[in-house]
Chain A
Amino acid sequence: MDTPRPLNLIAELTYRCPLRCAYCSNPLEWADVRDGLDADAWGRVMREAARLGVIHVGLTGGEPTVRRDLGEIVGHAAGAGLYVHLVTAGAPILPEGLDPLIERGLRSVQLSIQDADPAASDAMAGAPSFERKLDFARAVRARDLPLTLNVVLHRGNLERVDAILELARRLDAQRLELAHVQYYGWALLNRAALLPSRAQLDRALERVEAARARGPSPEILIAMPDYHRERPKPCMGGWGRKMLVVDPAGRVLPCHAAAGLPGLEFWSVAERPLAECWADAPGMNAFRGEDWMREPCRHCPERERDHGGCRCQAFALAGDASATDPVCGLAPDRSAILAARRTAEAADEPPLRHRSPSTSRRKRSESVRN
């Protein structure tokens, strides 16, 4: 088949991060993945990505601003003609740290905030960071850069969605991404403490609709928890289709979590050209297109929309990456989702297990299947 054109490069510059969020989207084994690419190597990735047709690059992590050579990397990305977007937690970068990045071609910023309540935000982040994030958001707007505020929603902060909406308005964010926790890695480990009940979710959605009716700014994007849906999400817009992830070691992946799937061989830009890693790595082709699909996906009219859902979720919940995403109402392995929903309706919340180097190393050999 023809290799699709990637439009978006997600450049995970490092997995290091000063925060310890209990729903971190980095792999559980992040502490083992070293920063394998220097600025020049990233420069090569940017140029090759541009040649492949990539339009946007998101510089992310971990926390990309822990890298001292971030300015150089921004310069390489802008020089390659990419639209350069920084995805940050607002630390350790300081407001004045923005200026050299803007000079080198940074165009937009996404800032994550864990909650509208300062204490709750700091508790989730595992570090006092809320005030500093607000200062950083103001610094972004003072420099006339577009700001996307990203807040990961879960049962602990869903009730404060009004305050979150108000915070985004006050910070003059252009966009507010209300991204529900996706249950992989750390979030899957903490699922019982994070997954909201259906009623909680519906109340929050009502508040969001009311905010949208009040005015167009900020633009509000909301990602529902797929556990409460009847059909799977079109994960990453399809495997190896539009999004290209390069992890800190240089591995080219279809998504943030795919390196955790057993038996898939991905290639690294440290060893081969990006185009080859994208087009020909066996792992990249394992779930491209529809040939891999089984029933009920294979003949499902919705496969063109959802591309069969999420392979990582199929592996995590059904133990088989080729299975139908258990979120789907037609999936044979639906029971795992239904059980998680029942737990979410119960009131008890186990304590959160925060991301840390020591838990990461402990998780190295454990198999985590809930």
Chain B
Amino acid sequence: MSDARSELEARLREIGESRYHHRHPFNLRMHEGTLSPEELRTWARNRYYYQTRIPKKDSAILAKEGTDTPFRREWIGRIHDHDGEKPGEGGLALWLDLAEAVGCARGEVEGLHQVLPGVREACDAYVAFVESHDLLESVAASLTELFASDIMKVRLAAFEKHYPWVDAAGLRYFRTRTEQAPRDAAFGLGFVLDHAETHEARERCVAALERKCEILWSLLDAVEAAGRQPALVPHAQVRFDEAEGRTLVVLPERAVALNESARELLDLCDGSRSAEALACEIAHRHPEAESAYPDAHDFLEHMEKAGVLSSA
């Protein structure tokens, strides 16, 4: 039994080593100091959406079959940590400080109007995972906290060294998490090791943590993609199709029809501006269209897959 226990712990830690997002190219660039201020802002604004999902995820865990008083007493502390005892306190407020320190407007971040579709999808997938899996798997999925403390330390040092323009007061989130994460992770790990009593249960825990790593990874994929600078491929022909009254982008052996708003966005794709900047521009031009921002990102991604746009 204790063999199986230590073997499971080793496997869970190995997943962190090989799949946690400390290896993601975007984080590597953040930590080596090569992100632009715009990229940092995109990241901070989008990662805030993740932060807002965490208390929801923890509430779902508290409501699960199998929790008892000692468990809930411990676990509810995460919600307090995140939401704070009063306004201006807690992890969410600290994250807003960070977002402000990298140059975001606090209200815009809080409003969640400019969340990348891929980020929204990833974060919602995490909450949905917890809602649809049992207590053991849900706690196992939270074990990315085992690796959070290390990345926070690296990040803190990187910000101090490479992004001196970011006000140090904005970095309090990282400092707080380096203390909270190990404590939370120790409890979560103990719970998983105690309760994963069968081979089948241990496999489910491993799969849950892998899934969570995938979710964090895809969040950064979306943030990274927002920094690409799309341009129309050189051999494309943009023309009006009189027969059906629409614009066509013609490529070898295919043609893509564009409506008016797609045409407007495509005309902005000159290779000098990021997908994020383009989507913000479109949202700014069309304040009446609520989903203009995510629609623009979806469209740019779709056009890149269709071979209409390419990025340097």
Contacts and interface: CB of A to CB of B under 8 A. Distances in A.
A85 B234 contact: no
Given A55-B248, A85-B252, A107 B235 contact: yes
A83 B243 contact: no
A146 B243 contact: no
Contact of A108 (B235, B239, B243, B255): B235
B239 A107 contact: no
A175 B252 contact: yes
Interface string B234-273: 1101010101000010111101000000000000000000
22 contacts: A5-B243, A7-B255, A53-B241, A55-B241, A55-B248, A55-B250, A55-B255, A56-B250, A56-B253, A56-B255, A83-B250, A83-B251, A83-B252, A83-B255, A107-B235, A110-B252, A144-B234, A145-B235, A146-B235, A146-B251, A146-B252, A175-B252
Contacts of A148: 252-253
Nearest to A52: B243
User: Which of A7, A83, A146 gathers the greatest number of chain B CB atoms within 10 Å?
Assistant: A83
B312 to A, nearest CB: 14
A174 B236 CA distance: 14
Contacts of B235: 107-108, 144-146
Contacts of B307: 174
Q: Interface residues of A toward B: which range?
A: 10 to 19
Interface residues of B, number: 14
B252 A107 contact: yes
Given A56-B250, A144-B234, A174-B252, A81 B243 contact: no
A81 B239 contact: yes
Contacts of A85: 252-253
Nearest to B253: A56
A101 to B, nearest CB: 13
A81 B239 CA distance: 8
A246 B54 CA distance: 64
A175 B234 CA distance: 16
Interface of B: 233-235, 237, 239, 241, 243, 248, 250-253, 255, 307
Contacts of A146: 233, 235, 251-252
Contacts of A53: 241, 243
Nearest to A84: B237
B234 A83 contact: no
Given A53-B243, A83-B237, A108 B248 contact: no
A108 to B, nearest CB: 4
Contacts of A144: 234-235
Nearest to B236: A107
Contacts of A108: 235, 251-252
A110 B253 CA distance: 11
Nearest to A107: B235
A81 B252 CA distance: 14
Contacts of A83: 237, 250-252, 255
Contacts of B237: 83, 107
A35 B237 CA distance: 30
User: Which of A55, A85, A110, A144 gathers the greatest number of chain B CB atoms within 10 Å?
Assistant: A55
A56 B233 CA distance: 17
Interface in A1-19: 5, 7
Nearest to A108: B252
Given A83-B237, A146-B233, A174-B307, 11 more contacts: A7-B255, A53-B241, A55-B250, A55-B255, A56-B250, A83-B250, A107-B235, A107-B252, A108-B235, A145-B235, A175-B253
